[in-house]
Structure 1
Amino acid sequence: MKRSTFIKSLILGGAGAAYVGNNYHEFLKEYPKVYHNYVRGLQYYKYKSVAKHLREGGRLFLKREPKNRYDKCAIGVYYNSMKLGYLPRDENKVLANLMDLGKPAYARIKKLNSNEDELYKAVFVEVFADVG
């Protein structure tokens, strides 16, 4: 990771999503995949209004929500500035701890399912993170 990217990730790490800038594809090559699963809660957020813009391989942003009243380890999943849902709360603790340490993490859409009867399986993501 470049020094400037590292410094920006330290500064922005506490704000939620870490900064990767134009080096998103380099980031995915450099850091391991640490998690994969479906995004939860799509029916409660902006999924239907942005679904037509989502593409397999597309970037999603992750934002820590430590003050979430239902889950202190909550990690929101965003397309640009619109919340799609959350990573499942029964599997988010390790990644939440990494993000709290300022480690960069990003999600990539692995698979999309357009069947409206299976909204719970609409967006399958892979998460890549700096674990070092």
Structure 2
Amino acid sequence: MTIPRRSFLKTLLLLLPAGLTRTAAATPQRRYRLNRFSVAGFQYYAGPRLVARMAAGAVLDLVAEPDNPHDRYAVRIDWRSHKLGYVPRSDNHHLSRLLRQGATLNARVLKVDPHTAPWQMLKVEVELEVG
């Protein structure tokens, strides 16, 4: 039994989008670690009073502040709408540029140590999500 060419092509076209959708959905997200650092200015913002409520793995928000009068590459770090401080100036250029270009950056708490100096209480890891 042969299938008419026209029927075959219609069937093929109907199956094509489903195949593409499955392929796109099956493509895993890739994450690339960009940096690890302590939060700059942690002791001057909400950090010290919130540190006891934070845990490793907590999600943080990164916000580029291109109009910051002290550093045009400033990147603010927030946790649950509380300002914790900033990405250190030595590490903020590439993160600021990526954020302003719309890249998906994931920041999370890597380590919490409330018994150390305030500027070392919180270690953060930032990853670039691709895919």
TM-score, normalised via structure 1 length: 0.72
Q: Find the aligned partners of 2:91 and 2:101 in 1 and give their Cα distance.
A: 18
Shift, 1:57, TM fit: 1.2
CA pair 77-47 structure 1, distance change in 2 beyond 3 A: same
Q: Which amino acid aligns with 2:72?
A: K
Computed over aligned residues only, the root mean square deviation of the Cα atoms, in angstroms, reads: 1.8
Q: Find the aligned partners of 1:114 and 1:94 in 2 and give their Cα distance.
A: 29
Q: Find the aligned partners of 1:120 and 1:47 in 2 and give their Cα distance.
A: 10
Shift, 1:48, TM fit: 2.4
Identity of aligned residues (%): 31
The equivalent of 1:129 in structure 2 is 128
Q: Find the aligned partners of 1:68 and 1:97 in 2 and give their Cα distance.
A: 14
Shift, 1:44, TM fit: 1.2
Deviation digits for residues 79-118 of structure 1, max 9, x if unmatched?
A: 01000000001221011111110001121111111125x1
The equivalent of 2:57 in structure 1 is 57
Q: Which amino acid aligns with 2:78?
A: Y
Q: Find the aligned partners of 2:62 and 2:56 in 1 and give their Cα distance.
A: 17
**Which one has a larger percent strand, Structure 1 or Structure 2?**
2
The equivalent of 1:12 in structure 2 is none
Which of structure 1's runs of 4+ aligned residues deviate more than 6 A?
A: none
Q: Is contact 2:66–2:72 with CA below 8 Å preserved after alignment?
A: yes
Give the structure with higher Rg (CA): 2
The equivalent of 1:8 in structure 2 is none
Shift, 1:130, TM fit: 3.4
Q: Is contact 1:98–1:131 with CA below 8 Å preserved after alignment?
A: no
Structure 1 runs not aligned, ≥5 long = 1-26
SS at match of 1:66: coil
Q: Find the aligned partners of 2:77 and 2:123 in 1 and give their Cα distance.
A: 11
Structure 2 runs not aligned, ≥5 long = 1-27
Q: Is contact 2:106–2:129 with CA below 8 Å preserved after alignment?
A: no
Q: How many residues align?
A: 104
Q: Find the aligned partners of 2:39 and 2:55 in 1 and give their Cα distance.
A: 15
